[in-house]
C-alpha cells in the first residue's frame, strides 16, 4: 500500500527509482533485481508496510499523539508569514535553524526548476532558498528518494516531509543509528492526503488554462488560506480559491494509502505545523487574513527548537489548550477515530493492511463511537468493489 515516499529508493544508483504511474501517483520502478538485504530494509522502513511509534516517554494523547506543548504561532517576518501557507510556521523554524548555525541545510519539497508541476527535493541553505520553496505542494513527492545523498555530505540538516515521509525517515534512522546525529530536527505538517497529478491538471482545466501554457503554478501561499495560481506564457494569471481547488478537486483524488492513514498529524516528527483555522467547523474563512499555524512540539528536540525560535523572535507563539486542536482540525480528529473501520474494510477486501503499532486506533475509535466506524467500514468496502466509485 504505497505512499510514494521514496524510502525504497533511498540508495544512490540503486535498483529502485520513483516514477509517476498512469493514475498520477509516484510508485517504485524496479530497474534490476532487488537483493535480499534491500528487501529486508524496505520491510523495516516502508510506511506502506508498517508504522511503529515507540513510546518516547512524552504524554500520548489518544487522538493527537505525543505532545510536549501546543501553541498558535506565526512568523514575525511579514514576508515569511505572507508567503507561507499558514503563517509561515515551518518556514520560520527552518530559517532560524539555518541562521543560528544549528543546521547546514534543510531538505524539503519544492517545485522543479524545469517543470512547474513536478515536486522535487530541494536543499535550502538560506532564507531566500527557504522562501523559494514556501507554500503547500498538493501533488506527489518522494523526499526519501536518494536520501543517502543527504548523509554523504557529512553536514547537519533538518528534514521536512509529510507524516509518512517523516515516519520513513524515523525508521531509516533506526536502521542506521550512526547517521542520526546529522539530523537536527524532523519537521512535518498536518496532512489530508496526496492528490494525484491528474487532479492538478483538472484544476488547470477548471481555471481555463492548460499545462502547456502554464509556466508557474502554486497551490497555496501568498496569503491565508491563499489562492491556487497559474501564470501563463503570455502573462495571464488564473486563480482558484482553496474551497474550490482543494475542496472540490484535489481532495477528491487521493491515493488509497492516504484514505486509510491513521497519522495525518505527523506523530513521528519533532515538531508539526498546520492551519490553525478559525471558525466552529475548522474550515477556513475565505476572506484573506494574516496566517497562523497550529504548532505541536512532540519531542524534547521539537520543544527546544520552538522555545529557541520564539526567544530569538523568529516565531511568535501563544499557548493553546490541547482541547482546541479539534476545533481547528476536526477532520483530523474524525479521520483518526474512523481509521480502524476503513482499515478493516481494506483487510477484508485485499487480505492485507499495514501494521500500525503505537497509534492507539482502538482508543481513538472508542472515542468516536460505533456508528461512524461502521459507516466508514461499509463505505470504504463498497468503494473497493470493482466497478464502484474507486478509492
pLDDT in tens, 92-146: 999 999 999 999 999 999 999 999 999 999 999 999 999 999 989 999 999 999 9
Q: How many residues does the chain have?
A: 391
56 grid coordinates: 518516547
Please state, in angstroms and rounded to a whole number, the distance separating the CA atoms of residues 159 and 151: 11
Please state, in angstroms and rounded to a whole number, the distance separating the CA atoms of residues 57 and 110: 34
Non-local CB neighbours of 378 within 8 Å, separated by 6+ positions = 345
**pLDDT reading at 180 higher than 60:** yes
Residue 161 pairs in a beta bridge with 188
**Is residue 278 a contact partner of residue 196, using CB atoms and an 8 Å limit?**
no
Residue 189 pairs in a beta bridge with 273
Segment 63-68 shows an average pLDDT of: 96
pTM above threshold 0.75: yes
User: What share of the chain in percent tops pLDDT 90?
Assistant: 87
Confidence of residue 184 (pLDDT cuts 50, 70, 90): very high
Strand, helix or coil at 203? helix
pLDDT in tens, 196-209: 999 999 999 999 99
The pLDDT of residue 15: 93
Segment 4-10 shows an average pLDDT of: 96
pLDDT in tens, 269-302: 999 999 998 766 555 565 678 999 999 999 999 9
Closest CA to 195 of 125, 266, 262, 256: 256
pLDDT in tens, 358-375: 999 999 999 999 999 999
**Is residue 32 a contact partner of residue 192, using CB atoms and an 8 Å limit?**
no
User: What is the rounded average pLDDT for all residues in the chain?
Assistant: 93
CA distances in angstroms from 182 to 92, 118, 148, 151, 303, listed in the order given: 21, 28, 12, 7, 18
Residue 279's CB is within 10 A of a number of other CB atoms, namely 11
Closest CA to 109 of 78, 141, 79: 141
**pLDDT reading at 181 higher than 70:** yes
Closest CA to 125 of 99, 144, 152, 89: 99
Non-local CB neighbours of 344 within 8 Å, separated by 6+ positions = 377
Please state, in angstroms and rounded to a whole number, the distance separating the CA atoms of residues 345 and 366: 18
- Name which of 34-38, 124-128, 384-388 the model is least confident about: 384-388
**pLDDT reading at 386 higher than 80:** no
Segment 6-20 shows an average pLDDT of: 92
Please state, in angstroms and rounded to a whole number, the distance separating the CA atoms of residues 92 and 211: 32
Q: What is the residue extent of each domain of the chain?
A: 7-196+251-335
385 grid coordinates: 468493489
Amino acid at each position: 500500500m504505497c505512499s510514494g515516499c521514496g524510502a525504497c529508493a533511498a540508495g544512490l544508483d540503486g535498483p529502485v527509482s520513483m516514477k509517476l504511474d498512469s493514475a498520477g501517483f509516484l510508485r517504485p520502478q524496479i530497474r534490476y533485481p532487488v537483493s535480499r538485504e534491500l528487501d529486508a530494509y524496505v520491510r523495516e522502513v516502508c510506511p506502506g508496510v508498517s508504522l511503529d511509534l515507540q513510546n518516547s516517554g512524552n504524554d500520548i494523547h489518544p487522538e493527537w499523539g505525543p505532545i510536549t506543548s501546543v501553541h498558535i504561532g506565526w512568523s514575525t517576518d511579514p514576508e515569511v508569514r505572507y508567503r507561507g501557507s499558514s503563517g509561515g510556521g515551518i518556514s520560520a523554524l527552518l530559517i532560524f535553524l539555518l541562521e543560528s548555525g544549528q543546521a547546514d541545510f534543510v531538505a524539503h519539497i519544492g517545485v522543479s526548476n524545469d517543470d512547474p508541476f513536478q515536486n522535487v527535493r530541494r536543499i535550502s541553505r538560506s532564507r531566500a532558498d527557504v522562501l523559494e520553496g514556501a507554500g503547500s505542494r498538493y501533488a506527489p513527492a518522494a523526499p526519501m528518494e536518494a536520501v543517502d545523498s543527504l548523509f554523504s555530505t557529512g553536514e547537519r540538516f533538518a528534514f521536512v516531509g509529510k507524516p509518512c515521509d517523516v515516519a520513513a525517515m524515523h525508521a531509516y534512522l533506526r536502521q542506521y543509528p550512526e547517521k542520526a546525529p546529522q539530523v537536527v530536527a524532523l519537521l512535518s505538517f498536518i496532512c489530508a492526503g496526496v492528490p494525484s497529478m491528474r487532479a492538478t491538471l483538472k484544476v488547470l482545466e477548471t481555471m481555463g488554462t492548460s499545462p502547456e501554457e502554464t509556466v508557474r503554478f502554486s497551490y497555496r501561499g501568498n496569503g491565508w488560506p491563499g489562492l491556487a495560481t497559474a501564470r501563463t506564457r503570455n502573462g495571464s494569471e488564473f486563480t482558484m480559491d482553496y474551497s474550490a481547488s482543494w475542496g472540490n478537486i484535489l481532495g477528491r483524488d487521493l491515493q488509497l494509502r492516504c484514505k486509510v492513514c491513521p497519522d495525518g498529524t505527523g506523530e513521528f516528527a519533532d515538531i508539526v505545523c498546520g492551519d490553525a483555522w478559525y471558525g466552529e467547523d475548522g474550515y477556513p474563512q475565505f476572506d484573506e487574513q494574516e496566517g497562523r499555524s497550529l504548532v505541536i512540539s512532540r519531542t524534547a528536540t521539537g520543544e527546544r527548537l520552538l522555545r529557541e525560535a520564539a526567544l530569538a523572535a523568529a516565531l511568535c507563539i501563544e499557548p493553546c489548550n490541547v482541547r482546541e486542536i479539534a476545533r481547528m482540525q476536526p477532520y483530523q480528529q474524525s479521520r483518526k477515530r474512523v481509521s480502524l473501520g476503513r482499515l478493516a474494510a481494506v483487510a477484508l477486501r485485499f487480505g492485507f493492511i499495514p501494521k500500525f503499532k503505537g497509534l492507539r486506533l482502538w482508543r481513538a475509535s472508542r472515542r468516536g463511537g460505533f456508528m461512524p466506524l461502521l459507516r466508514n467500514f461499509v463505505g470504504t468496502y463498497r468503494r473497493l468493489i470493482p466497478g464502484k466509485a474507486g478509492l
